[in-house]
Structure 1
Amino acid sequence: MAPRTNPTLRQRRLGAELRRMREQAGFGGSELGRAVGMNPAQVTQMEAGKIGISVERLRTVAATCMCANEPLITALANIITEREKPGWWEEYRGVISTDFVDVAEFESHARRLTTFTMAFVPGLLQTGRYAAAVFAETFPPLPRHEVDLRTAFRMQRQRIVRSGTTPYTAFVHEAALRMKFSGPAVLTEQLSALIEDSEQPTISIRVIPFEVDAMPSSNENFTYADGPIPELDTAQMDTGLGIRIFDAPSHTAKFRSLLARFDSYALSKEDSRGFIESIKKEVESKHA
């Protein structure tokens, strides 16, 4: 079978875990290959997600690498054996940026999602007009059809949290609640939508107000996805050059620590709802 040219995010994650398993055992690619009956090129392709492996080979690799973490091995086996229909985002592959497709796939397999945003309302909670306004501010400017495509894609992504199937917590800095993309009318509509969303049992919106002192620095927006086991947790960060995916234990531990501190600084769910209502009234009164 020819190697995959565009492995999915899940396929790449499986490969990354196999590489981590090998490195923790102190093996080089050639050493592991000799032990499990693969040539070095196959090991490289396996770890890049470009070729698949069977559950039997996974267990052989785990045993060879002296990995006794049965929950991890089982979770990886489930990735291999899952036979799901292609996700809705596959319709956009080759049409929209790969980063967008990866984010949708990343979110779809999460057991829980937590985000932090500082410059704008989280994408998973944006209204259509607000999302279009945010994309319209991209530099260099995007053509209108690309703005429309990205907006439609973002609206479809929201189904995962609006359906209630995936618990979602959004830490939103006050600055994001005051940014007027396309003016006060769009912002007022967006704040009203946030208030409504905050009343959903599986959505928690927590505001971090300006008055908080010594908030931990986080220059970029990020999303933390809980996996089936902690070892398969993943973080995704937005940057000016695209998204970055973090799955190394040291990185996920850092993001968990940041979220714990945000939790201690943010207003409660109920107080956050009242805070958003006060900003909405302020905007309405200024532009009545």
Structure 2
Amino acid sequence: MPPRLSPTVRQQRLGIELRKMRERVGVTPKTLAAALGTDLPKISQMENGKSGISADRLRAWARTCGSTEGRYLDALLAMTQDRRKYWWDGYRGRIPSGIIDIAEMEHHAESLTILHTSFIPGLLQTSAYANAVFARLRPPLPRHETDVRTAFRIQRQRVLVERPKPYTAFVHESALRMQFGGPAVLHDQLRSLLEDSERPGVEIRAIPFSVDTFPGSGESMYLACGPVPELDTVQIDLSQGPKFVHSEADLRTYREIKTETAAIALGPDESREFIRTILKTALS
């Protein structure tokens, strides 16, 4: 099978974990190639996510690296078995791959936590609100591309219905008041947000202007927890597109941001009352 030209972030992550496993104990690619009965280019392709790895070869890889059991290895083995086609694959070539990788990340996560300061998180957006957000991108997108991205974003929301999982959204007051699409769109968006806050597993926590500062206030943060902490991922928004980070140092920082933000944000019930107060003035 020829190497993948554009491995997904999840495929790249499996390769990164293979390389980390090897480098942790100082095993050389040559030693691994001999143990797996393959060649050096194949080892490189596996570590770059450009070539898949079978469960048997992963076990041999782990044995050679002295890692033969535990939840971490089980999680990696589960990644090698997942070769299905998903709904987001139908969007490949139509929208940037980084956006598709977000849907893949959400699907496989055990829990999700997001912090946003400028707009309502994607999994909670109405169609009109999402369309207005995409319409503000620069350079401007053609109308059909805006519509495709909106449809994709709305379809992503199935993850909270078809595969329910804990989802916490920290939303700053600035995002609750930002009028993407105008007052009527914001009004409907806030009503939808209140409805979402009552759904099982969904927790919406508001951060009012009265909080003078909070960690990570200058950026968005999307923490996807994997089956084991080693496979957690953080996605952040950049002007060039989504960026995925998963080094232990970065994960430690973002976990601290999550903990500190939870300590200063309003509770779920207080947040609902806070959103209702803003809703009353949304059309005025």
Taking structure 2 as the reference length, the TM-score comes to 0.95
For structure 2, which runs of at least 5 residues remain unmatched after alignment?
A: none
Alignment partners' CA distance in 1, 2:74 and 2:161 = 30
In the alignment, which residue of structure 2 is the partner of 1:170?
Answer: 169
**Which deviations, in whole Å up to 9, do the C-alpha atoms of 1:218-261 show, x marking residues without a partner?**
42212111111111111111111111111222222211111011
Question: Which is worse superposed, 148-157 or 218-227?
Answer: 218-227
Shift of 1:34: 4.0
Q: 1:269 and 2:268 equivalent?
A: yes
In the alignment, which residue of structure 1 is the partner of 2:118?
Answer: 119
Moved over 4 A (4+): none
**Pairing 1:205-220 to 2, within 5 Å after superposition:** 205-220=204-219
Say whether the 8 Å CA contact 1:235–1:246 is kept in structure 2: yes
> Is the partner of 1:4 in helix, strand or coil?
coil
Letter in 2 for 1:197: D
Letter in 2 for 1:32: L
> Is the partner of 2:236 in helix, strand or coil?
strand
In the alignment, which residue of structure 2 is the partner of 1:186?
Answer: 185
Q: Report percent identity of matched pairs.
A: 48
Shift of 1:28: 3.9
Question: Which is worse superposed, 54-63 or 140-149?
Answer: 54-63
Letter in 2 for 1:114: T
Shift of 1:13: 1.6
In the alignment, which residue of structure 2 is the partner of 1:145?
Answer: 144
Letter in 1 for 2:63: A
> Is the partner of 1:78 in helix, strand or coil?
helix
**Which deviations, in whole Å up to 9, do the C-alpha atoms of 1:78-134 show, x marking residues without a partner?**
1112353x1100000111111111111111111111111000000110011110100
**Which deviations, in whole Å up to 9, do the C-alpha atoms of 1:27-80 show, x marking residues without a partner?**
343343345433221111001111122222212211222235521111111111
In the alignment, which residue of structure 2 is the partner of 1:130?
Answer: 129
Alignment partners' CA distance in 1, 2:163 and 2:176 = 24
Shift of 1:18: 0.2
Say whether the 8 Å CA contact 2:14–2:49 is kept in structure 1: yes
Alignment partners' CA distance in 1, 2:82 and 2:241 = 29
> Is the partner of 1:158 in helix, strand or coil?
helix
**Pairing 1:1-288 to 2, within 5 Å after superposition:** 1-67=1-67, 70-84=70-84, 86-163=85-162, 165-284=164-283, 287=284
Alignment partners' CA distance in 2, 1:217 and 1:15 = 29
**Which deviations, in whole Å up to 9, do the C-alpha atoms of 1:122-163 show, x marking residues without a partner?**
011001111010000001111111111110110000111144
Taking structure 1 as the reference length, the TM-score comes to 0.93
Say whether the 8 Å CA contact 2:107–2:163 is kept in structure 1: no
Alignment partners' CA distance in 2, 1:38 and 1:163 = 40
Decide whether aligned partners of structure 1 residues 282 and 274 sit closer, same or farther in structure 2, where only a CA change above 3 A counts.
Answer: same
Say whether the 8 Å CA contact 1:164–1:202 is kept in structure 2: no
Alignment partners' CA distance in 2, 1:67 and 1:163 = 35
Letter in 2 for 1:283: A
Decide whether aligned partners of structure 1 residues 218 and 45 sit closer, same or farther in structure 2, where only a CA change above 3 A counts.
Answer: farther
Alignment partners' CA distance in 2, 1:195 and 1:77 = 39
Alignment partners' CA distance in 1, 2:107 and 2:95 = 18
> Is the partner of 2:282 in helix, strand or coil?
helix
